[in-house]
Chain A
Amino acid sequence: MKLPTRMRGSGPDAHPGEDTGGWVPAGVRESWQQLPEPVRRLALPLALVALAFFYPKYAESLPGAFPGVGTLVIMIVYTMMAVGLNIVVGYAGLLDLGYVAFYAAGAYTAAWFASLQFEQVSFHFGSVGISQEAVGIHISVWLILLIAGAFTAIAGILIGLPTLRLRGDYLAIVTLGFGEIIPQFVRNGDNIFGFDLTHGTFGISPIDSPGFGTTLEDAIGVPASFQQSFDRAQWFYWAALALLLVTVFCSVRLRDSRLGRAWIAIREDETAAAAMGIPLMRTKTWAYAIGAFFGGIAGAYYATFKSGAFPSDFFFNFSVFLLCMVILGGMGSVWGVVLGGLVLSYLDQEGLAKLGNSVSEVIGRQIDVPKYNFGVYGLIIVLMMLFRPTGLIPERRRKKELAEGVHDESLYDASA
């Protein structure tokens, strides 16, 4: 197979795809190249995963600029949403400005099925850390993650069916509308013909915690309920990390699948894709549903971590924030989006505040940097577009797209 030549190592054997810099001693480089291909390919991801896995163990000895474990949970959840959004925007090329709706759908699924909200009934199934006498529906949070994913995917299909017939800007406008409708609905859903579905602006709180139950706690020492455990953040972190890894894995596998190829074909040229026999509506709807699925799971998980779902979380600017992560990382590139997501969510959660403090110390005046967060993100995006329009870690294919210009004119709409 011919790979693009991007050699930095000078030797004729230097593996073109590998970044063996000139500073690596020749001996080390050679023995590295003798390792079997899968080992070389997986070495970096595995090392990163291991580093991430043990983070709570060494977090305290790190300098202050590093995020705390609790912050990391939020960062990972946001990143997961960005990876989900990347399926819609990056793979299939459908500009979705209302992704926050899926986050809301996931969060409220968790709130309905694992809280005291529906006090008319009392239903328990595998829930942990709450009294068996408690009213409301209490289903095991692990199960709820799946339910939330499924529910959100269905919501994605329902939103997708009428909207995905539109192209480009029109699709963006309609998704923007749906992104506003859902929070509005949630805000006003406390009196639907007398029925309190969403508890209005107060939101639904508390939400049950994930956990392993008392049997497992006694047996192997894993916490019965994360929320009540002493190292709460650490357990939430590990579960979030596992969810993110599953999302990334699925995302990579999907990209290389037949469906993934169809998405990319639609992104490249919708009319040609239709002419190849790709069912446009079905393929786009799948992108929506799968993107929504991961957004829903992330939303539900975040709700259980915060132990609440509040309508004030679901503003339009969050959709834009997620979109910024995708653009910053590199549309269509899974690893890029993970990086972009971590960077922006870090800035959002801690980075800007810490930056603000250091700046204030230097110039001797108090400046509230987080207040200008969207200005900062906007600046980052503008700078990215100027200097690295393909993102931090560009997708191989997308790189070409921007270098050669996109032709996306279509004379007439293909209906399929």
Chain B
Amino acid sequence: MAEQSGNVVLSLEDVHTYYGSIHALKGVSLEVREGEIVTLIGANGAGKSTTLRSINGLNHPREGAIRFQGREITKDPAHAIVKSGIAQSPEGRRLFPRMSVLENLEMGAFQREDRTTFKEDVDRVFELFPRLAERRNQKAGTMSGGEQQMCAIGRALMARPKLLLLDEPSMGLAPIFVEKIFEIVREINAQGTPILLVEQNALMALDAASRGYVLETGRIALEGPAKDLRENEQVRKTYLGEG
């Protein structure tokens, strides 16, 4: 595995997570470094979303350790984790459907103590997603899937995250929107936010990411630079639908 520059922002060490008695993650270890887009790909039920839920405190691991900026956050409650700087755009977007776009963005900034720069950040989100600016007073639930995904990413950015978790941002979107979303994901990353990207669309994800992990039934099956994974025969067969 190629050694990347930059400090480790997030690390998972041998994480085991359960849903009741179901052993969903069977020892996952991974890292996200400063400036990186890291992608986690895998089939349905491989444990991609569970990995994110373990990180953001919605489903605490039973064993293993999660460190964020050198500090252990394994058992921290969800709101404390958001406060320490991990924001996410959850699977299925989960906007507050009866709140307006602006109100949704407001909720994204909920844990921030410094509220003076709120306006500034809204402007930044609207700059990234001009479409949202047009719809700022529209109820989030009435927008198209692509617009909702934009709103969900924008909402996560409102927390001024030091690490952004994206769960299936391309799910259910028209191809043109998928392109658009990935473009913006790259741009957010270029502005300095490391990203952990969970995707089923392995092709797009590996194109955008610098490194990747392949998850199979709760274990990391493969890992390496995105370029190498892209060339890997097994990955091509299973996830890229080639050969």
CB-CB under 8 A from B82, the residues of chain A are 275-277
Please, what's the 1-or-0 string for B45-70, where 1 marks a CB less than 8 Å from any CB in chain A?
00000000100111110000000000
A416 near B96 with CB under 8 A, answer no
CB-CB under 8 A from A401, the residues of chain B are 98
A415 near B96 with CB under 8 A, answer no
Please, what's the 1-or-0 string for A384-416, where 1 marks a CB less than 8 Å from any CB in chain B?
000000000000011011001001000010111
A170 vs B111: C-alpha distance when bound (angstroms): 29
- Is A243 close to B, CB under 8 A? no
**B contact set with A: CB distance below 8 Å:** 19, 53, 56-60, 77-79, 81-83, 88, 90, 94-99, 103, 106-108, 110-111, 137, 139, 141-142, 155, 159
A272 near B58 with CB under 8 A, answer no
A269 near B139 with CB under 8 A, answer no
CB-CB under 8 A from B111, the residues of chain A are 276-278
Most chain-A Cβ atoms within 10 A of its Cβ — which of B56, B60, B78, B82? B78
Minimum CB distance partner of A279 in chain B: B79
A173 vs B87: C-alpha distance when bound (angstroms): 34
CB-CB under 8 A from B90, the residues of chain A are 271-272, 275
CB-CB under 8 A from A277, the residues of chain B are 78-79, 81-83, 110-111, 159
Stretch of A174-182, A258-266, A301-309 with 4 or more beta carbons under 8 angstroms from chain B: A258-266
A264 near B99 with CB under 8 A, answer yes
CB-CB under 8 A from B53, the residues of chain A are 412
Q: What 6 additional pairs, Cβ within 8 angstroms, besides A265-B96, A265-B110, A398-B98? A: A264-B96, A265-B99, A265-B107, A268-B96, A272-B90, A280-B78
Which A353-411 residues sit within 8 Å CB-CB of chain B? 397-398, 400-401, 404, 407
A412 near B107 with CB under 8 A, answer no
Contacting residue for B60 out of A261, A280, A400, A415, CB 8 A: A415
A271 near B94 with CB under 8 A, answer yes
Minimum CB distance partner of B52 in chain A: A275
A-B contact pairs, 5 of them (CB 8 A): A261-B106, A265-B96, A273-B107, A280-B78, A415-B58
B98 near A272 with CB under 8 A, answer no
- Is A253 close to B, CB under 8 A? no
CB-CB under 8 A from A261, the residues of chain B are 103, 106-107, 110
In the assembled complex, how far is the CB of residue B32 from the closest CB belonging to chain A, in whole angstroms?
18
Count residues on chain A whose CB falls below 8 Å from chain B CBs.
29
- Is A2 close to B, CB under 8 A? yes
A397 near B98 with CB under 8 A, answer yes
CB-CB under 8 A from B94, the residues of chain A are 269, 271-272, 275
In the assembled complex, how far is the CB of residue B137 from the closest CB belonging to chain A, in whole angstroms?
6
- Is A274 close to B, CB under 8 A? yes
CB-CB under 8 A from B141, the residues of chain A are 400, 404
B59 near A416 with CB under 8 A, answer no
CB-CB under 8 A from A275, the residues of chain B are 56, 58, 78, 82, 88, 90, 94
Please, what's the 1-or-0 string for A229-258, where 1 marks a CB less than 8 Å from any CB in chain B?
000000000000000000000000000001
B110 near A262 with CB under 8 A, answer yes
Contacting residue for A279 out of B60, B77, B103, CB 8 A: B77
CB-CB under 8 A from A258, the residues of chain B are 110
Minimum CB distance partner of B111 in chain A: A277
A407 vs B95: C-alpha distance when bound (angstroms): 11
Contacting residue for A412 out of B59, B79, B95, B97, CB 8 A: B59
In the assembled complex, how far is the CB of residue A400 from the closest CB belonging to chain B, in whole angstroms?
5
Minimum CB distance partner of B91 in chain A: A411
In the assembled complex, how far is the CB of residue A264 from the closest CB belonging to chain B, in whole angstroms?
7
B97 near A276 with CB under 8 A, answer no
In the assembled complex, how far is the CB of residue B182 from the closest CB belonging to chain A, in whole angstroms?
22
In the assembled complex, how far is the CB of residue A165 from the closest CB belonging to chain B, in whole angstroms?
12
Contacting residue for B58 out of A264, A407, A414, CB 8 A: A414
CB-CB under 8 A from A400, the residues of chain B are 97-98, 139, 141
- A-B complex: 7 closest residue pairs judged by Cβ atoms: A277-B82, A277-B111, A272-B94, A279-B79, A268-B96, A416-B77, A274-B78
A278 vs B58: C-alpha distance when bound (angstroms): 12
CB-CB under 8 A from A268, the residues of chain B are 96-99
Also in contact, A271 and B58, with CB within 8 A (given A276-B111, A277-B111) = yes
Minimum CB distance partner of B137 in chain A: A2
Contacting residue for B108 out of A269, A276, A397, CB 8 A: A276
Also in contact, A414 and B78, with CB within 8 A (given A271-B58, A275-B94) = yes
A276 near B98 with CB under 8 A, answer no
CB-CB under 8 A from B79, the residues of chain A are 274, 277-280, 416
A276 near B58 with CB under 8 A, answer no
In the assembled complex, how far is the CB of residue B200 from the closest CB belonging to chain A, in whole angstroms?
17
